[in-house]
Chains A and B, each alone.
Chain A
């Protein structure tokens, strides 16, 4: 729910005494509660300790994996795949989306296929990617490119199409040179929705990459979890689960921070 909607329906009303800082602390309540519940359930052994290790055991497994250097190796593999695939997919998607919105020819040529393919869940394409690209690095990077490209392209396309005709008309009246038109009108106008698209694309890329690594890889966070499962070391799987969530969360928050601080003109 956007802040605007919440404000409109009165959900965001904060009593005078509650300070912003306290609200920030509230964000930690649910994770802490979850960890407490997890610790409680594992302490009572409601679920076999072989299946659900306690938070403390998972923390010590984390340290163990860190000390052996195994974790860093898997993480650096996963993150470099993500960085390469995402930067390629997102930048090509951005250009493609803008182009498709600006050019009727490109739109007529590509839109039907584009909209058809973007509906296919990336995970469903994994077997085909394996057949085409094999099980090596290129496959995993291609999966990330697919996940990020379509989301960013769609966001850029819709954003560009959504630029008000009035802006363009005013620009025409003022006879703005095209460089100013893009630099001062179009790019600032599409920037906020595109940034949101980039953020969503990132989340998709990350989850799809981990899923692909679970299925096929020799390294990476997903593979560490798969191997943990094969070895019946569900504590390792849990380390992977927690890390996947944390990494996703931190990067998502950085994007949000970016949205709030880079898009100054949006701030009401």
Chain B
């Protein structure tokens, strides 16, 4: 190696180091946030990219306005819906976001190695999971799919729901050939008939509409306590450093949930907001004939049901080998901001806290 090259390399390394030192110093010197960064799921519907929940929380919750009053900019960070969990987890670990709207299994995976985030505003029980089989399949229940190929994205929230469904028939993930693919690839695989089942969220209706799939099970009517229960997660650092700003963000989200949960706004919510990220017909069917009433689906209350849900997920994550350490549910769930928001909005008694349902046998499920 030439002396000249070594010299140039040394300069390069030194300047990179100096740059990082500068960046690190800047981060420490910051007193108040100039910008709040929130990661959300980005969908692409008919060639247009939309961010889930952004318009609703700005228009109905006034998030952007209330941050602007304090001179804080709001920045939305998109996470492709093909891999929301890993993308947001990496962004949290990297310190490039302060909040994220996602859940519920991925944050447990993130917190397994080291506590990073906490749930500051639950969505309520909002997302249904569906089991779809090819249109020409004769399968009627999960029992008929034993030993067959199931497209399931591992580590995503609905994995635990699938495990519960299997456990309800005394099966485990090992009783199936799990093909670990994202929902888009899973849907393509189901359409081509190369998997015998596909487990995902309400995108299941798209398959049914195209005539390639048939929904044989969902959380609409069974295992209803296992609907997706994500929410707004904040980094522990941000919460400790800026509790007031956290409160402001949570207030906006709780206000939005309160607005959406009123029967009178149901139609507007679906038309104006949800139809941006999913076809309206899909959203409507997802919500129709559901055993959980509309209002309750939006409950941000930290009740026994929520705690039991997260406890079940944490236990599942450990027993299935997704994580190696135990995760403390107490550390994950922080009711302080929601309780304050409910008081601030004067709606402390609007939603009723429910006690935990009887335990489901998934905790014993061995993977």
A232 touches B94 (CB 8 A): no
CB distance from B28 to the nearest CB of A (A): 14
The one of A134, A136, A232 that contacts B110, using a Cβ cutoff of 8 Å = A232
Cα of A217 to Cα of B178 in the assembled complex, Å: 9
Task: Give chain B interface residues in 91-140, CB to chain A under 8 Å.
Answer: 93-95, 106, 109-110, 112-114, 116
Task: Give chain A interface residues in 219-235, CB to chain B under 8 Å.
Answer: 223, 226-227, 229-232, 234
* Chain A residue, CB-CB nearest to B184: A127
A/B interface sample: 24 pairs, CB < 8 A = A37-B13, A48-B93, A50-B113, A50-B116, A51-B94, A127-B185, A127-B188, A130-B189, A131-B188, A131-B192, A134-B189, A135-B149, A215-B181, A215-B185, A216-B185, A218-B178, A223-B180, A226-B180, A227-B180, A230-B156, A231-B323, A232-B109, A232-B112, A232-B155
CB distance from B196 to the nearest CB of A (A): 11
B93 touches A132 (CB 8 A): no
- Chain A: residues with CB nearer than 8 A to chain B? 26, 29, 37, 44, 46-48, 50-51, 127, 130-136, 215-218, 223, 226-227, 229-232, 234
The 8 closest A-B pairs by CB, nearest first: A134-B194, A230-B155, A50-B93, A48-B93, A131-B192, A232-B109, A135-B189, A229-B86
* Chain A residue, CB-CB nearest to B116: A50
| Chain A hits for B85, CB < 8 A | 230
A135 touches B151 (CB 8 A): yes
* Chain A residue, CB-CB nearest to B193: A134
Cα of A47 to Cα of B322 in the assembled complex, Å: 23
| Chain A hits for B112, CB < 8 A | 232
CB distance from A230 to the nearest CB of B (A): 3
The one of A134, A216, A231 that contacts B109, using a Cβ cutoff of 8 Å = A231
A230 touches B194 (CB 8 A): no
The one of B106, B113, B179 that contacts A216, using a Cβ cutoff of 8 Å = B179
* Chain B residue, CB-CB nearest to A133: B194
A130 touches B188 (CB 8 A): yes
Q: Is the interface of B mostly helix, strand, loop or mixed?
A: mixed
Task: Give chain B interface residues in 70-100, CB to chain A under 8 Å.
Answer: 85-86, 89-90, 93-95
CB distance from A30 to the nearest CB of B (A): 9
The answer to whether the Cβ of B1 comes within 8 Å of any Cβ in the partner chain is yes
Cα of A37 to Cα of B114 in the assembled complex, Å: 25
The answer to whether the Cβ of B67 comes within 8 Å of any Cβ in the partner chain is no
CB distance from B113 to the nearest CB of A (A): 6
Interface 0/1 of B170-182, CB less than 8 Å to A:
0000000111111
| Chain B hits for A227, CB < 8 A | 154-155, 180
CB distance from B296 to the nearest CB of A (A): 31
* Chain A residue, CB-CB nearest to B24: A46
Cα of A20 to Cα of B344 in the assembled complex, Å: 78
* Chain B residue, CB-CB nearest to A215: B185
Known: A216-B185, A216-B189, A223-B180. 4 other contacts (CB 8 A): A132-B192, A134-B195, A136-B194, A234-B90
Cα of A14 to Cα of B191 in the assembled complex, Å: 62
CB distance from A127 to the nearest CB of B (A): 6
CB distance from B115 to the nearest CB of A (A): 11
A232 touches B192 (CB 8 A): no
Cα of A227 to Cα of B188 in the assembled complex, Å: 20
CB distance from A141 to the nearest CB of B (A): 14
* Chain A residue, CB-CB nearest to B149: A135
A51 touches B93 (CB 8 A): yes
A232 touches B86 (CB 8 A): yes
Cα of A215 to Cα of B153 in the assembled complex, Å: 11
The answer to whether the Cβ of B20 comes within 8 Å of any Cβ in the partner chain is yes
B20 touches A46 (CB 8 A): yes
The one of B13, B110, B178, B191 that contacts A131, using a Cβ cutoff of 8 Å = B191
